[in-house]
Chains A and B, each alone.
Chain A
Amino acid sequence: MKLFNKIALGTALSLAAPAMAQDVVNYATDGGTILDVKQEYLIGPAEEKLGVDVVVDAMTSRFAPFKAQVLSGKPTWNLIDFSAGYGIRSQNEDLLEKLDYSLIPNAAGVPDAYKDDYTVGSTAYATGLGYSTEAFPDNPPQTWADFWDVEAFPGRRAMRNGPRPALELALLADGVAPEDLYPLDVERAYDKMAEIKPHIDVWWSSGAETTQLLYDQEVDLMQIWDGRAKNAINEGAPAVFVWNNAIVEYAVFAIPKGSSHPEVTMKVINEMLNPEGQAKWASNYATGPLNTNFAEFMDPERLKELPSAPENLAIGIPLNNAWWASEAGEEAERRWLEFMQQ
């Protein structure tokens, strides 16, 4: 209700904008609990500090409307966040304003792998190995090579129905060192995938499915996102999420090209990256803020479970979105359907 009031108030204010000196930043992002918590610990304080109004437009599929807005020449949104893959695509299609990092000092805490001239990382999530502790009470699988080893680690297996980041996992299992992953050896990766294919019982397509698979112990080991695994574990599933060699993906903040007062928006981004606010956000919602300085303000026990905890980031491997957006990446993506149908 509170959120609704805020949106209503924001809309009313934005309509009255010419009469008021206050700047309005229209922000497109995901709705739900994640937003409620973000509203309280990041958006609210940012509004107070900067004297701006941040009006949230909550929706899941934002790329298409964002692109349409920019192409129309007068985008309504001033700020958007979406997965880094979209960030690359938007850059390739020239849909973004360049960021002025002097206005975003908090971005210094974001590792270089998670920011560029046009986008800055907001949160991270990880694809890792989840296993049932009932199926593997001692000597559990710890690496992707273990996942591929059906003799040593027998059990029902699940993977995501998609090449991203299954191909990375296949190459890691085949002995490629994390730093040598990109550009992916697509041929080798698909060969390795063909090896495991007969042993995959479930190819999942939605995150909700994976929580259920782990919770009901329908499978013994699987490729899964950290948040989904945590949901199952919190519900009492006897399971563990392995951070080692997890593939880290992330979402970014970006400014639609041609939107009004980008410098105000950049100040808002700076506040959204405020480490203390990010820590409060992550304390109340399981997410992985990318200003790594947030760790100082976290309860160490809770921090351990977050994808952007320094030790987890250190052993995680950032997904190379630029490679996936390249010609070779798109080709590798298209090949997946053929692989599944064989």
Chain B
Amino acid sequence: MTDMPKLSAIERTEQRSFLLLFLPALILVALIIFAPLGKLVVQSFQDEGAFSLVHYKRIVTERIYWSIFVDTLEVSLAVTALSALLGYPVAYAAARASRLWTGLILAMVMLPFWTSVLVRTYGWLVILQRRGIVNTTLMDLGIISKPLELSHNYTAVLIGMVHVMVPFIVFPLYAALSKIPPELAQAGNSLGGTRSYVFRRVILPLSAPGLLAGAVLVFVLSLGFYLTPELLGGGKTIMVSSLVERNIEQYSRFGAASSVALSLLVIVLAIFWVVDRVLPVEKIIGVK
């Protein structure tokens, strides 16, 4: 009984020391994330040293800014849809296969994930360009007589971005699918459901959280893409990130660049907020 105050005292010191241990990380996060972000906010509301809304006004009133934001959303949506279509069968196969195959499939998904995006993007150029592997092979086989235009256009941007993004949808999907007991599908089949009926009514709804989680991840990451559209799009697909780069590199307008970056950040946070209403963040991140 007399140990109680002693114990809670120990607990308190322990908590304090944990807090102390936690402090460096907290300071680091504050320094490398919140301080620069704060500077961006300040810059975006400044013009020639004075408070000004000119940068935000520009985003709302100038048609090009608008259309670049809309294009970015469109590209990201297309990438999300394609990644889901390609990623679902892969995740499904991984969830249903034997342990060995599951390991193999997931390793194949992971492998490109560890390669630098720059290297992968140039890899796609080598494959897709006029004298690339695809065109020379098809021409050698006599299937086509003129090279297909596969690189430096919208198609190439989609191919390059989907390749980078598929792993981000496969993993949450795999987590969701592997938790669905196989017996559920068997039960559905034994009750007379066709395979597609069982998929639509059982598998798809049960895997929806994983699908949604992956889709949000892909969509949000796509919004900030820079390198892949720049290199594979031949400069014709202009994303918000290019707008930020242009404002700094070409015009040295840090305020304008900051306001564009922050607008994108606000859009992303809004998306997270809406999704969080439908599906709590804990479900996206953690599988308890």
| Chain A nearest CB, measured from B256 CB (Å) | 10
- Do B235 and A161 have beta carbons less than 8 Å apart? yes
* Partner-contacting stretch, out of B41-49, B124-132, B184-192, B193-201: B124-132
Task: Give the number of residues in A that approach B within 8 Å (Cβ atoms).
Answer: 21
With A162-B250, A338-B64, A341-B67 known to touch, is A218 a contact of B238 (CB < 8 Å)? no
Cβ–Cβ < 8 Å partners of B114 in chain A: none
Q: Which residue of A lies closest to B126 (CB)?
A: A216
- Chain A residues closer than 8 Å to B110, beta-carbon distance: none
Instruction: Please give the distance in Å from A7's CB to the nearest CB on chain B.
Output: 28
Tell whether B12 is near chain A: CB-to-CB under 8 Å: no
Q: Which residue of B64, B68, B130, B250 is within 8 Å of A156 (Cβ)? A: B130
| Residues of chain A with a CB closer than 8 A to B149's CB | 201
User: In the complex, which of the residues B129, B131, B235, B250 contacts A204, with contact meaning CB atoms closer than 8 Å?
Assistant: B235
Q: Is the beta-carbon distance between A203 and B130 smaller than 8 angstroms? A: no
Partner of B234, one of A201, A212, A333, A337: A201
Report the minimum CB–CB distance from B55 to chain A (whole Å): 14
A251 vs B122: C-alpha distance when bound (angstroms)? 30
A-B contact count (CB 8 A): 48
A91: CB under 8 A from chain B?
no
> Is A340 in contact with B235, judged by CB distance below 8 angstroms?
yes
Contact B250 A218 (CB under 8 A): no
CA distance A218 to B130 in the complex (A): 6
Question: Given known contacts A162-B250, A340-B238, A341-B238, is B67 in contact with A218 (CB within 8 Å)?
Answer: no
Selected contact of A218 from candidates B129, B235, B243, CB within 8 Å: B129
A89-124: CB near B (< 8 Å → 1, else 0) gives 000000000000000000000000000000000000
CB distance from B50 to the nearest CB of A (A): 18
Q: Is the interface of B mostly helix, strand, loop or mixed?
A: loop
Q: Are B152 and A202 in contact (CB under 8 A)?
A: yes
Do the beta carbons of A337 and B64 come within 8 Å of each other? yes
Contact A205-B230, Cβ < 8 Å, known A216-B131, A341-B68: yes
* A133 contacts B by Cβ under 8 Å: no
Q: Is B236 an interface residue (CB 8 A)?
A: yes
Tell me the complex Cα distance, A212–B152, Å. Answer: 13
B117-151: contact bitstring with A at CB < 8 Å (1 yes, 0 no)?
00000100110011110000000000000000101
> Is B231 touching A209 in the complex (CB atoms < 8 A)?
yes
Please give the distance in Å from B77's CB to the nearest CB on chain A: 19
Provide the residues of chain B in CB contact with A217, threshold 8 Å. 130-131
Closest to A330 in B: B251
Q: By the criterion of a CB under 8 Å from any partner CB, how many residues of chain B are at the interface?
A: 23
Task: Tell me the bound Cα distance from A171 to B250 in angstroms.
Answer: 21
Interface residue A334 (Cβ < 8 Å from any Cβ of B): yes
Cα separation A268 to B123 with both chains bound (whole Å): 46
On chain B, the residues within 8 Å of A161 by CB distance are 235
Q: Find the A residue at minimum CB distance from B67.
A: A341
Nearest CB of B to A249, in Å: 15
Q: What is the CB-to-nearest-CB distance from A332 to chain B, in angstroms, rounded to a whole number?
A: 12
Could you tell me the distance in whole angstroms from the C-beta of A157 to the nearest C-beta in chain B? 11
- Please pick, from B67, B126, B151, B250, the residue contacting A333 in the complex, using a CB distance under 8 A: B250
Question: Is B283 engaged at the interface, CB distance under 8 Å to the other chain?
Answer: no
- Say if the beta carbon of B16 comes within 8 Å of chain A: no
Give the residues in chain B near A202, CB-CB below 8 Å.
152, 234-235
CA distance A209 to B235 in the complex (A): 12
Selected contact of B151 from candidates A162, A218, A334, A338, CB within 8 Å: A218
Contacts of A204 in B (CB 8 A): 235
Nearest CB in chain B: distance from A74 CB, A: 22
User: Are A334 and B130 in contact, CB atoms less than 8 angstroms apart?
Assistant: no
- How far, in Å, is B112 (CB) from chain A's closest CB? 21
In Å, the complex CA distance between A212 and B132 comes to: 12
Please give 16 more A-B residue pairs, beta carbons under 8 A apart, in addition to A218-B131, A341-B68.
A156-B130, A162-B250, A203-B235, A204-B235, A205-B235, A216-B125, A216-B126, A216-B129, A216-B130, A216-B132, A218-B152, A337-B64, A337-B238, A337-B243, A340-B238, A341-B67
Q: Can you report 29 A-B residue pairs in the complex whose CB atoms are below 8 A from each other?
A: A156-B130, A201-B152, A201-B234, A202-B235, A203-B234, A205-B230, A212-B125, A216-B125, A216-B126, A216-B129, A216-B130, A216-B131, A216-B132, A217-B131, A218-B129, A218-B130, A218-B151, A333-B250, A333-B251, A334-B251, A336-B250, A337-B64, A337-B238, A337-B243, A337-B246, A338-B64, A340-B235, A340-B238, A341-B68
